[in-house]
């Protein structure tokens, strides 16, 4: 998805409000606000690290995405990216996102699957530290107490869970092999 802010087939003529959950530095929200100057863009995060110099249609709130949402106006687009390991109750968060999406609006999630390996043989595939880490991840996924964590550690399971509950279509795509590429 390099060079693209979103993949959902959003109605660009009806983009009045957008939400970036877990905005982090806020760069996505700022870029989206630049692309849609008539759209009110809200970025939320627990950490107040966003820039103060932003487009006039962009604002940031220190807010916990897992708390009750109190905003009374729905969003046309909700963006959720790389929150793996940050959310304790994904079904609740996604229900709140769904309940706060305007008719015809979209929720886009971008998560990744962690697979360690080496493509140039400079690090052995059976190296003990990599092997042990991957074994621990598999054990965590099997524990029923970690059900939601398991969904995010295995994107195919997350996609099936989303499709079975409410969201259609779930599109899966392969990203880059290495960070930053």
pTM strictly above 0.85: no
CATH of 14-113, one of 3.90.550.10, 3.40.50.1820, 3.40.50.150, 3.40.50.20: 3.40.50.150
pLDDT at residue 51 above 60?
yes
What is the predicted pLDDT for the residue at 179? 43
Binning the chain into helix, strand and coil, the percentages to the nearest 5 are: 30, 20, 50
What is the predicted pLDDT for the residue at 137? 72
Q: Is 96 helix (H, G, I), strand (E, B) or coil?
A: helix
Closest CA to 75 of 44, 39, 45: 39
Residue 169 preceded by cis peptide, ω within 30: yes
Helix or strand holding residue 149 (H, E): helix 147-153
């Amino acid at each position: 998805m390099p060079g693209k802010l979103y993949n959902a087939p959003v109605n660009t003529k009806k983009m009045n409000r957008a939400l970036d959950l877990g905005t982090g530095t806020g760069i996505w929200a700022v870029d989206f606000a630049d692309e849609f100057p008539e759209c009110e863009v809200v970025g939320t995060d627990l950490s107040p690290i966003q820039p103060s110099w932003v487009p006039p249609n962009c604002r940031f709130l220190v807010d916990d995405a897992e708390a009750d949402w109190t905003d009374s106006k729905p969003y046309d687009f909700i963006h959720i990216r790389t929150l793996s390991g940050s959310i304790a109750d994904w079904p609740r968060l996604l229900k709140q996102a769904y309940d706060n999406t305007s008719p015809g609006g979209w929720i886009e999630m971008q998560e990744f699957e962690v697979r360690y390996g080496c493509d140039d043989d400079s690090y052995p595939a059976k190296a003990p530290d990599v092997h042990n880490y991957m074994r621990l991840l598999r054990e965590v996924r099997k524990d029923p107490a970690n059900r939601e964590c398991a969904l995010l550690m295995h994107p195919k399971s997350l996609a099936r869970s989303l499709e079975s509950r409410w969201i259609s279509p779930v599109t899966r795509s392969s990203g880059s092999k290495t960070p930053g590429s």
